[in-house]
Amino acid sequence: MSPLVVAHRGASAHRAELTLAAYELAIEQGADGIECDVRLTADGHLVCIHDDVVDRTSSGTGRVSEMTLAQLSELDFGSWYDNEPQRVLTFDALLDLVTSSRPDLKLFVESKHPARFPGRIEWKVAATLGRYGLSKPETKDDARVVMMSFSTLAVRKLREYAPRLPTVQLIENMGKQGRDGWLPPWADYAGPGVDLVRADPGYVERCRAQGHDTYVWTVDAPEDVELCRDLGVRFLATNSPIKTREHLAGE
Ligand code: G3P
Ligand code: CA
């Protein structure tokens, strides 16, 4: 089976990352799923921003966790990339888009878990998904939302607060146990970076032998797309859904 194509931060090769425009384009390009990073503002709102500061991707400066949603709303999150102004994207606005799109569109939510407030983001993510009717699928395969983090504590909290949703343990580096395909019991899928898979392609099969499919990021180079397809990776996060889909289709 061909991997499902997940738009990493939206169609972020073509539009400013994590903006409504990037997600609308990803859906237009036929992505099977979209990926977002979430952070908490000083006044308790979930926003889709990757870095802990807004400096790289907006017209402002400062830490997301020290700014209110009103302050973030004054900034332009698009012009740094392509001169198209974009407002900060709230998690609610992204869920409005998801719930008004194709019913089979999946959302991969990455908690950018701050060590300072363990569990707070995860609780809010789960509560917000519940408000949108997205937290209680019949089975994990029916779930529209998959939750993930690099932090094992965050993944454990996500499982605790939304037990019916699947989880990905994102992996940057792994010890011996990790290399064997082992995951903590609260994680369903392994989420290695593509460089780990390139260096050790057998990892995908070892995960499968332990009962875990894989979610691999960020897969843009044609040879990486082919490698992931040949290894039977289940989800593949890419910055250009259209190019990756074309490549998978052999075009
Ligand atoms: O999809 C997982 C991937 O997004 C993790 O890396 O830094 O892009 O959030 P990063
Ligand atoms: Ca991410």
- As to burial, measured by CB atoms within 10 angstroms (0-12 exposed, 13-18 middle, 19+ buried), residue 25 is buried
| Atom of ligand 1 at shortest range from CA of 35 | 1
Tokens of 95: 């869920």
> Quick one: which atom of ligand 1 is closest to the CA of 6?
1
Tell me how far apart the alpha carbons of residues 206 and 70 are, in angstroms, rounded to a whole number: 47
Q: Rounded to the nearest whole angstrom, what is the distance from the C-alpha of residue 44 to the centroid of ligand 2?
A: 20
Q: Provide φ and ψ at 199, rounded to 5°.
A: -75, -25
What's at 98, amino acid-wise? V
Ligand (nearest to CA of 36): 2
**pLDDT tens digits for range 83-104:** 999 999 999 999 999 999 999 9
Q: How far is the CA of 35 from the centre of ligand 1 (A)?
A: 8
Q: Look up the pTM and report it.
A: 0.97
In which domain, by residue range, is 75 found? 4-248
Q: Is the ipTM value over 0.95, yes or no? A: yes
Q: Pseudo-torsion of CA 71, 87, 79, 74, nearest 10°? A: -20
Q: Scanning the structure block, which residue is given the tokens 């990803």? A: 26
Paired tokens of 90? 């709230």
- pLDDT tens across 39-67, in order? 999 999 999 999 999 999 999 999 999 99
pLDDT at residue 180 in the model = 86
Query: One digit per residue, pLDDT tens: the chain, 251 residues?
Result: 899 999 999 999 999 999 999 999 999 999 999 999 999 999 999 999 999 999 999 999 999 999 999 999 999 999 999 999 999 999 999 999 999 999 999 999 999 977 777 899 999 999 999 999 999 999 999 999 999 999 999 999 999 999 999 999 999 887 777 888 889 999 999 999 999 999 999 999 999 999 999 999 999 999 999 999 999 999 999 999 999 999 999 87
170 close to ligand 1 (CB < 6 Angstrom): yes
- DSSP one-letter string for the chain: -PPEEEEETTTTTTS-TTSHHHHHHHHHTT-SEEEEEEEE-TTS-EE--SSSBSTTTSSS-SBGGGS-HHHHHTS-SSHHHHS---PPPBHHHHHHHHHTS-TT-EEEEEE---TTSTTHHHHHHHHHHHHTT-S--SSGGG-SEEEEES-HHHHHHHHHHSTTS-EEEEESS--HHHHTT---TT-SEEEEBHHHHHH-THHHHHHHHTT--BEEB---SHHHHHHHHHHT-SEEEES-HHHHHHHHTT-
Q: Give the CATH number of the domain where residue 124 resides.
A: 3.20.20.190
Between CA 139 and CA 39 the distance in angstroms is 27
State residue 114's pLDDT score: 72
pLDDT at 178: 80
Question: Ligand 1 within 6 A of 37 CB?
Answer: yes
Cβ of 8 less than 6 Å from ligand 1 = yes
Total structural domains in the chain?
A: 1
Task: Say which ligand is closest to the CA of 214.
Answer: 1
Give long-range contacts, CB 8 A cutoff, 24+ apart: 194-198.
194/218, 194/219, 194/224, 194/227, 194/228, 196/171, 197/224, 197/227, 197/228, 197/231, 197/233, 198/224, 198/227
The catalytic site residues sit at 8, 50
Contact 55/67 with Cβ under 8 angstroms?
no
Tell which one of 37, 111, 239 to mutate to probe ligand 1, the residue whose CB is within 8 A of the most ligand atoms: 37
What is the pLDDT at residue 209? 95
Could you identify the atom of ligand 1 that is nearest to the CA of residue 237? 1
